[in-house]
């Protein structure tokens, strides 16, 4: 079978399939593994000061820990080294076809025909698409009125604060990328304005000497209700100096856990020191003048859009998929309802590290492949379930925004993937070896 994409998800899926005894070909457009962490290639989304926003304890794969000398929050070079060591340890390099961007993926009477720019042209009984979320830049839609006469840049192309040296910079976007880049730009820019459309919760990277996600997990059942737990966490953040309202920012109008967390220990620090000037939405451009919805104006030299990414599958005709709200309508954010030999993995956001999700997704694909190729009774039940079931992934709880269309409650998602994985395995002989298709 084929895997498209050699980022963390493609590697994780490949590892589990190899361990299951399957023949795997992994196609990667670049010369080596890494995906967004590959700063040696155009697909990289890193810059010099970038560190993970999730700590190593829940970013590492459970049975393949990061080196002991890695810090709590590794930098992007350490993350790349870890990903490649994981691929090397589990035989992915021997199965990879590098410098082979997929140019065409089309149905071939059930299986899928896969064509690459490197000359590959093969038919596979199952294809797993893992080409990543951060490929095609997304900009405000509809576009901001007026014309801007200065430079524009998307977060995708930000590599160093040298790009903003001595320039008046406007960063648009309140997610982790927008906050991280605004903080990074402060070191070289003549001035930084940060435009966000709503109030946000800003979480420190450490509480009580522990990475914040670990501290939150260790609260366990200390409180009787979720509401009490969330209220306590908000109170601790406020006492630690991480309440945006204390810095003049709008207070969020949604619960703390109803949006993807913004993990940044420095954004409010720089706002408090005047290094970053917070603003609301941009109303219009006129030359180098930016007008904001509050009626204020500012002159800027460069606008940096940290406004996210579109789903992009340039090798696949879009009408082959079912779409909803601009993204493919996938069961469990992974399984097309109208195709049985095509999977999409890694197309989800959740408030947690990479490790557990990577392992669970890989094991799900392995169970699916086993059920498909061995024609297990559980496959028929699953194929029916994916067209009628509506498992609760927490989707309706999150705020209404484009990026939250694929946000999920991590623990609900993992539980459902395990449940359907068990369903796929129904009818398998206890000691049966996987047949290699």
pLDDT band at 436 (very low <50, low <70, confident <90, very high): very low
The residue among 360, 298, 300 whose CA lies nearest residue 332 is 360
Tell me: pLDDT of 432 over 50: no
Tell me: pLDDT of 259 over 80: yes
Residues 6+ away with beta carbon under 8 Å from 209:
none
User: Helix, strand or coil for residue 21?
Assistant: coil
pLDDT digits (tens, 9 = 90+) for 174-186: 999 999 999 999 9
| Residue-level pLDDT at 356 | 85
Tell me: pLDDT of 114 over 70: yes
Strand 102-107 to 262-263 pairing: unpaired
Task: Please report, for the chain, the start and end positions of each structural domain, with discontinuous segments joined by +.
Answer: 2-136+309-424, 139-305
Cα(280)–Cα(282) distance, integer angstroms: 7
End-to-end CA distance of the chain: 8
Helical H segments across 204-248, by residue range: 212-217, 226-239
- Domain 139-305 annotated CATH 3.40.50.1820: no
Tell me: pLDDT of 256 over 50: yes
Kindly state the average pLDDT of the residues 77-84: 98
| Residue-level pLDDT at 435 | 44
DSSP letters spanning 420-435 = HHHHHTTT--TTPPPP
> Which of 155-164, 298-307, 407-416 shows the lowest per-residue confidence on average (mean pLDDT)?
407-416
Kindly state the average pLDDT of the residues 151-161: 97
User: Helix, strand or coil for residue 85?
Assistant: helix
Cα(432)–Cα(412) distance, integer angstroms: 30
Cα(420)–Cα(391) distance, integer angstroms: 10
The residue among 214, 182, 173, 183 whose CA lies nearest residue 73 is 214
The residue among 36, 90, 42, 84 whose CA lies nearest residue 63 is 90
Indicate the average pLDDT of the chain: 95
How many C-beta atoms lie closer than 10 Å to residue 222's C-beta? 9
The answer to whether the 2-136+309-424 and 139-305 domains have the same CATH topology is: yes
User: Helix, strand or coil for residue 82?
Assistant: helix
Contact indicator for 378, 426 with CB cutoff of 8 Å = yes
Residues 6+ away with beta carbon under 8 Å from 88:
none
pLDDT digits (tens, 9 = 90+) for 12-47: 999 999 999 999 999 999 999 999 999 999 999 999
Cα(54)–Cα(31) distance, integer angstroms: 27
Question: Which neighbouring-strand residues pair with 113?
Answer: 106, 123
| Residue-level pLDDT at 353 | 80
Question: Which neighbouring-strand residues pair with 327?
Answer: 324
| Residue-level pLDDT at 28 | 98
Contact indicator for 232, 257 with CB cutoff of 8 Å = no
pLDDT digits (tens, 9 = 90+) for 195-226: 999 999 999 999 999 999 999 999 998 999 99
Kindly state the average pLDDT of the residues 95-118: 97
Single pTM value for the model: 0.94
pLDDT digits (tens, 9 = 90+) for 353-389: 888 888 999 999 999 999 999 999 999 999 999 999 9
Class of domain 2-136+309-424: alpha beta
| Residue-level pLDDT at 403 | 85
Kindly state the average pLDDT of the residues 237-260: 95
% of the chain residues with pLDDT over 70: 98
> Which of 58-67, 273-282, 393-402 shows the lowest per-residue confidence on average (mean pLDDT)?
393-402
Residues 6+ away with beta carbon under 8 Å from 399:
198, 254, 258, 259
| Residue-level pLDDT at 430 | 65
| Residue-level pLDDT at 434 | 45
> Which of 99-108, 118-127, 280-289, 318-327 shows the lowest per-residue confidence on average (mean pLDDT)?
318-327
Cα(177)–Cα(173) distance, integer angstroms: 8
| Residue-level pLDDT at 437 | 42
pLDDT band at 304 (very low <50, low <70, confident <90, very high): very high
């Amino acid at each position: 079978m084929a895997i498209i994409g050699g980022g963390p998800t493609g590697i994780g899926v490949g590892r589990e399939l190899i361990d299951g005894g399957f023949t795997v070909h992994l196609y990667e457009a670049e010369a080596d593994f890494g995906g967004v962490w590959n700063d040696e290639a155009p697909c990289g989304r890193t810059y010099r000061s970038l560190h993970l926003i999730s700590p190593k304890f829940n970013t590492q794969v459970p049975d393949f820990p990061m080196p002991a000398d890695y810090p709590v929050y590794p930098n992007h070079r350490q993350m790349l080294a870890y990903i490649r060591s994981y691929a090397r340890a589990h035989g992915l390099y021997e199965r990879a076809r590098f410098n082979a961007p997929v140019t065409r993926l089309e149905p071939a009477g059930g299986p899928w025909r896969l064509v690459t720019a490197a000359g590959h042209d093969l038919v596979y009984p199952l294809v797993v698409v893992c080409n990543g979320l951060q490929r095609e830049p997304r900009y405000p839609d509809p576009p901001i009125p007026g014309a801007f006469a200065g430079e524009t840049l998307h977060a995708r192309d930000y590599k160093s604060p040298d790009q903003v040296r001595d320039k008046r910079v406007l960063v648009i976007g309140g997610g982790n990328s927008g906050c991280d880049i605004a903080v990074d730009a402060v070191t070289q820019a003549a001035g930084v304005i940060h435009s966000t459309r709503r109030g946000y919760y800003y979480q420190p990277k450490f509480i009580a000497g522990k990475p914040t996600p670990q501290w939150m997990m260790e609260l366990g059942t200390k409180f009787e209700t979720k509401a009490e737990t969330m209220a306590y966490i908000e109170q601790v953040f406020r006492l630690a100096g991480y309440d945006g309202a204390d810095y003049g920012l709008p207070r969020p109008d949604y619960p703390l856990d109803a949006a993807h967390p913004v993990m940044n220990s420095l954004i409010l620090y720089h706002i408090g020191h005047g290094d970053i000037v917070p603003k609301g939405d941009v109303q219009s451009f006129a030359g180098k003048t930016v007008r904001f919805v509050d009626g204020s104006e500012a002159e800027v030299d460069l606008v940096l859009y940290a406004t996210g990414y579109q789903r992009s599958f340039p090798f696949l005709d879009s009408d082959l998929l079912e779409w909803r709200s601009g993204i493919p309508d996938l069961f469990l954010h992974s399984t097309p309802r109208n195709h049985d030999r095509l999977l999409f993995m890694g197309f989800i956001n959740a408030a947690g590290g990479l490790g557990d999700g990577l392992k669970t997704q890989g094991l799900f694909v392995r169970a699916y492949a086993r059920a498909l190729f061995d024609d297990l009774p559980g496959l028929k039940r699953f194929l029916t379930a994916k067209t009628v079931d509506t498992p609760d992934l927490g989707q309706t709880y999150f705020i209404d925004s484009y990026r939250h269309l694929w946000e999920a409650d991590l623990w609900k998602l993992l539980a459902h993937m395990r449940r359907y994985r068990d369903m796929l395995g129904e009818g398998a002989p206890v000691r049966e070896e996987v047949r290699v298709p």
